[in-house]
């Protein structure tokens, strides 16, 4: 039989978060490997092109200003979602200060933001379902393909979603619009400030 071998034909092994962290500690991965653990699988993250890196920087700064003191706005920091997942979202907002997470990665962000150019399908389908399953209340995708912000809220069970969870609400916002984070109800962020 001829044909191409596809990934689904191969036996695979799923990793637990504790195993993945041990591999990181042992130096099995290099910083430029750009890997993250998503439901037990090692997944490649978005390549850091100039538009992507610029967007992460400007969006992080706009979000940091909106949240103010008492909140930590992290870029590319690991999140301990569950035993099988430790994604590294482009931007994460958690309560507290950097030293609060000296012994463990944050587990319950109030906002996760992914910047997507080549990973748009992954961020919309798989990461959205993963974050909904973890109870993340506010999930945004800065969509560089269509130049919009996709806002997902209201996690609900969903049989058709990859991890049996999805967001009930999806709002698409353009550069002329603004957004108020759920955890910062008195803040308003112009969408233009989140885009390159």
Domain ranges of the chain: 46-194
Residue 180, pLDDT > 70, answer: yes
Which whole number is the average pLDDT over 104-129?
94
Confidence at residue 46, expressed as pLDDT on a 0 to 100 scale: 67
Confidence at residue 12, expressed as pLDDT on a 0 to 100 scale: 67
Confidence at residue 5, expressed as pLDDT on a 0 to 100 scale: 42
Confidence at residue 9, expressed as pLDDT on a 0 to 100 scale: 63
Distances (CA, A) of 82 to 15, 44, 130, 131: 12, 19, 10, 10
The two three-digit tokens of residue 103, written as one number: 């012994």
The two three-digit tokens of residue 39, written as one number: 């439901």
Residue 45, pLDDT > 80, answer: no
The residues pairing with 95 across neighbouring beta strands, listed in sequence order, are 71
Of 6-20, 104-118, 131-145, 174-188, the one with minimum mean pLDDT is 6-20
The residues pairing with 93 across neighbouring beta strands, listed in sequence order, are 73, 111
Of 26-40, 77-91, 127-141, 174-188, the one with minimum mean pLDDT is 26-40
| pLDDT category of residue 1 using cuts at 50, 70 and 90 | very low
Give domain 46-194's CATH number out of 3.40.50.1820, 3.40.190.80, 3.90.1570.10, 3.40.47.10.
3.90.1570.10
Confidence at residue 61, expressed as pLDDT on a 0 to 100 scale: 98
| Residue 80 CB-half CA count within 13 A | 12
Q: How many CB atoms lie within 10 A of CB 81?
A: 26
For the chain, strand residue ranges (E) read 35-38, 41-44, 71-75, 91-95, 111-116, 138-143, 148-157, 165-173, 178-179, 189-190
Contact 51, 196 (CB under 8 A): yes
Q: What are the tens digits of pLDDT across the range 53-110?
A: 999 999 999 999 999 999 999 999 999 999 888 899 999 999 999 999 999 999 999 9
The two three-digit tokens of residue 96, written as one number: 């507290």
Confidence at residue 10, expressed as pLDDT on a 0 to 100 scale: 60
Confidence at residue 7, expressed as pLDDT on a 0 to 100 scale: 56
The two three-digit tokens of residue 63, written as one number: 């979000």
Pairing of strands 111-116, 138-143: parallel
Phi, psi of 152 (to 5 degrees): -115, 130
Q: What are the tens digits of pLDDT across the range 130-170?
A: 999 999 999 999 999 999 999 999 999 999 999 999 999 99
> What is residue 60's three-state secondary structure?
helix
Of 11-15, 126-130, 149-153, the one with minimum mean pLDDT is 11-15
């Amino acid at each position: 039989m001829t044909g191409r071998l596809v990934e689904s034909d191969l036996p695979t092994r799923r990793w637990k978060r504790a195993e993945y962290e041990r591999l990181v500690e042992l130096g099995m991965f290099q910083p430029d490997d750009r890997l993250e653990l998503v439901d037990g699988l090692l997944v490649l993250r978005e390549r850091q092109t100039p538009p992507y890196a610029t967007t992460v920087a400007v969006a992080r700064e706009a979000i940091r200003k909106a949240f103010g003191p008492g909140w930590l706005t992290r870029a590319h920091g690991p999140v301990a979602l569950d035993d099988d997942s430790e994604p590294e979202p482009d931007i994460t907002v958690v309560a507290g200060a950097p030293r609060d997470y000296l012994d463990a990665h944050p587990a319950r962000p109030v906002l996760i933001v992914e910047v997507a150019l080549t990973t748009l399908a992954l961020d919309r389908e798989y990461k959205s379902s993963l974050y909904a399953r973890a109870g993340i209340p506010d999930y945004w995708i800065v969509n560089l393909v269509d130049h919009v912000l996709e806002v997902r809220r209201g996690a609900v069970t969903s049989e058709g979603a990859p991890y049996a969870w999805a967001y009930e609400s999806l709002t698409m916002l353009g550069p002329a619009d603004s957004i108020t984070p759920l955890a910062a109800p008195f803040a308003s962020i112009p969408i233009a400030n989140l885009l390159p």
